């Protein structure tokens, strides 16, 4: 057998821990175990019927639905994205400033690929989404992780300025946040915008959870000022708010030269996103689905139940997140304790014991740059959340 050499760049990255743990929880379920998997950031709701019907009608018509589209999306969908940014965020983009990709993850990958060279530094507030550092490393950049655990999971301008060097190329903003659910208010985001003003530092603002804010209002980073708009790639998509994870459509608005470079990169990787998914997304962006307010209210009720249940578990502290559908409890009170013969030496051991002994799946905080924490998704049914809380509380009571 030949000894095939792998490219060095793939050695810089690790597989997604979230996807790996979700797959493991599903495997245990397939074995007949009653696992409550709170690992994946995937709504438990169905894609709204009006969106599905739109896709079905497109398939019935045939023709364009089975053909290539322009790399960055159909002209109609690009216009719908422009309309969405104008309506929801008061942002004005031209068609050459918009790109539709195969999910928001793909959009972020393209943006980092267009902006980051070997040796460039990227400021990544921690806790962070697991894929940010891996994408940065893949393109030869260096993630500069800035801990926000003592400032309410919000990056402060003081911490940002301490982390910036002449090699800083990019700052990543994510509000509402995965994994913490933290929402950065206007003042917090304005302080970051002021800190990068007058520099050549770009910003990627990941706003995929924009529609899932509980109290307060979402703030689009690019809408803070003309300067912020001119340096920011705003990333969004239909996966989270519209329960369309499998449709794989994300999109960006940003400076035309950056979007042009992203388009070129995409033209040599995936080319256009799936045509039928683009046609379904057109229906989603023209008008928010009627289901969205009800879903948001259900998520908020689930959040409140999860936070109360976790705070009632011995040794756990859980802040109330302002958005998304995750809780991020501090489980450092469990480290060093035992559950039977299992020693909880770190958050990875905590999640292993929770999965195998309590049959509850969570993701270790260390994967998000926050050791000692655990992420649980509450995009699950009320029955599943109830079982998870009961099992976590029982698990906590059995620690010695």
Q: For the segment 137-165, what is each residue's pLDDT rounded down to a tens digit?
A: 999 999 999 999 999 999 999 999 999 99
Query: CA 220, 225, 229, 232 torsion: positive or negative?
Result: negative
Q: Are residues 154 and 301 in the same domain?
A: no
CA distance 91 to 227: 13
Q: Are residues 174 and 308 in the same domain?
A: no
Q: Which residues contact 250 (CB under 8 A, 6 or more apart)?
A: 100, 101, 102, 103, 104, 105, 106, 107, 108, 208, 235, 236, 237, 238, 239
Domain boundary among 262, 286, 310: 286
CA distance 4 to 39: 34
pLDDT at 22: 77
Domain boundary among 253, 286, 319: 286
Domain for residue 228, yes or no?
A: yes
Q: Are residues 71 and 16 in the same domain?
A: no
Q: Which residues contact 190 (CB under 8 A, 6 or more apart)?
A: 224
pLDDT at 236: 98
Domain for residue 278, yes or no?
A: yes
Domain for residue 70, yes or no?
A: yes
Q: Which domain holds residue 77?
A: 49-286
Plot region of 162 (φ>0 → left; ψ -120 to 50 → alpha; else → beta): alpha
Domain for residue 72, yes or no?
A: yes
pLDDT above 70 coverage of the chain, percent: 100
Q: Are residues 75 and 30 in the same domain?
A: no
Domain boundary among 245, 262, 286: 286
Residue 16 clears pLDDT 80, i.e. is over it = no
Q: What is the pTM of this model?
A: 0.95
Total domains present in the chain: 2
Q: Which residue has the higher pLDDT, 322 or 5?
A: 322
Q: Are residues 77 and 172 in the same domain?
A: yes
Q: Are residues 157 and 274 in the same domain?
A: yes
Instruction: Point out which residues pair with 98 in neighbouring strands.
Output: 253
Domain for residue 1, yes or no?
A: no
Mean of the pLDDT values across residues 101-115?
A: 98
Q: Are residues 384 and 370 in the same domain?
A: yes
Mean of the pLDDT values across residues 217-245?
A: 97
Label each residue of the chain as H, E or C: CCCCCCCHHHHCCCCCHHHHHHHHHHHHHHCCCCCEECCCCCCCCCCCHHHHHHHHHHHHHCHHHHCCCCCCCCHHHHHHHHHHHHHHHCCCCCHHHEEEECCHHHHHHHHHHHHCCCCCEEEEEECCCCHHHHHHHHCCCEEEEEECCCCCCCCCHHHHHHHCCCCEEEEEEECCCCCCCCCCCHHHHHHHHHHHCCCCCEEEEECCCCCCECCCCCCCHHHCCHHHHHHEEEEEECCCCCCCHHHCCEEEECCHHHHHHHHHHHHCCCCCCCHHHHHHHHHHHHCCCCCHHHHHHHHHHHHHHHHHHHHCCCCCECCCCCECCEECCECHHHCCCEECCEECCCHHHHHHHHHHHHCEECEEHHHHCCCCEEEEECCCCHHHHHHHHHHHHHHHHCCC
Q: Each residue of 366-387: b (16+ CB within 10 Å) or e?
A: bbbbbebbbbbbbbbeeebbeb
Q: For the segment 27-55, what is each residue's pLDDT rounded down to a tens digit?
A: 888 888 899 999 988 999 999 999 999 99
Q: Which residues contact 162 (CB under 8 A, 6 or more apart)?
A: none
- Listed range (30-34, 82-86, 106-110, 258-262) with the worst mean pLDDT: 30-34
CATH number at residue 247: 3.40.640.10
Whole-number average pLDDT of the chain: 96
Q: Are residues 114 and 197 in the same domain?
A: yes
pLDDT at 27: 85
CATH number at residue 332: 3.90.1150.10
Cis peptide preceding 27, ω within 30 of 0? no
pLDDT at 1: 83
Domain for residue 3, yes or no?
A: no
pLDDT at 147: 97
Closest CA to 287 of 76, 88, 127: 88
- Residue 132: which pLDDT band, with cuts at 50, 70 and 90? very high
Q: For the segment 339-375, what is each residue's pLDDT rounded down to a tens digit?
A: 999 999 999 999 999 999 999 999 999 999 999 999 9
Domain for residue 199, yes or no?
A: yes
CA distance 325 to 97: 30
Tokens of 142: 């260096």
Q: Are residues 128 and 244 in the same domain?
A: yes
Q: Are residues 263 and 339 in the same domain?
A: no
- Listed range (6-20, 45-59, 238-252) with the worst mean pLDDT: 6-20
Q: Are residues 229 and 334 in the same domain?
A: no
Domain for residue 2, yes or no?
A: no
Q: Are residues 146 and 266 in the same domain?
A: yes
């Amino acid at each position: 057998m030949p000894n095939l050499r792998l490219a060095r760049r793939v050695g810089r990255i690790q597989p997604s821990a979230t996807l790996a743990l979700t797959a493991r929880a599903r495997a245990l379920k397939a074995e007949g175990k009653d696992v409550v998997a709170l690992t994946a950031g995937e709504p438990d709701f169905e894609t709204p019927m009006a969106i599905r019907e739109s896709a079905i009608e497109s398939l019935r018509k045939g023709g364009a639905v089975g053909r290539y589209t322009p790399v960055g999306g159909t002209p109609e969908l690009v216009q719908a994205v422009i309309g969405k940014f104008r309506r929801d965020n008061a942002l004005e983009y031209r068609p050459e400033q918009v790109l539709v990709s195969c999910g928001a993850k793909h959009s972020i990958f393209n943006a980092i690929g267009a902006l980051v060279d070997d040796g460039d530094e990227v400021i990544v507030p921690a806790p962070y989404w697991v894929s940010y550092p891996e994408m940065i490393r893949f393109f030869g950049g260096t993630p500069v992780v800035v801990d926000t655990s003592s400032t309410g999971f919000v990056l402060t301008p003081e911490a940002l300025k301490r982390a910036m060097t002449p090699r800083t190329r990019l700052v990543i903003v994510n509000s509402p946040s995965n994994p913490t659910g933290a929402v950065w208010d206007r003042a917090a985001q304005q302080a970051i915008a002021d800190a990068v003003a007058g520099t050549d530092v770009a910003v990627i603002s990941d706003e995929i959870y924009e529609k899932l804010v509980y109290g307060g209002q979402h703030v689009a980073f690019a809408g803070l000022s003309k300067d912020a708009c001119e340096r920011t790639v705003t990333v969004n998509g239909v996966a989270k708010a519209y329960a369309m994870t499998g449709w794989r459509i994300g999109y960006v608005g940003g400076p035309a030269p950056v979007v042009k470079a992203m388009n070129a990169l995409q033209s040599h990787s995936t080319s256009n996103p799936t045509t039928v998914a683009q046609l379904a997304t057109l229906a989603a962006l023209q008008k928010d689905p009627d289901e969205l307010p009800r879903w948001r209210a259900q998520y908020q009720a689930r959040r409140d139940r999860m936070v109360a249940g976790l705070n009632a578990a011995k040794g756990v502290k859980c802040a109330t997140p302002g958005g998304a559908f995750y809780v991020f409890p501090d489980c450092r009170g469990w480290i060093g304790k035992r559950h039977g013969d299992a020693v909880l030496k770190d958050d990875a051991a905590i999640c292993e014991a929770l999965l195998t002994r309590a049959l509850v799946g969570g993701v270790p905080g260390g994967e998000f740059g926050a050791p000692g924490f655990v992420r649980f998704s509450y995009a699950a049914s009320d029955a599943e959340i109830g079982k998870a809380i009961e099992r976590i509380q029982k698990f906590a009571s059995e620690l010695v």
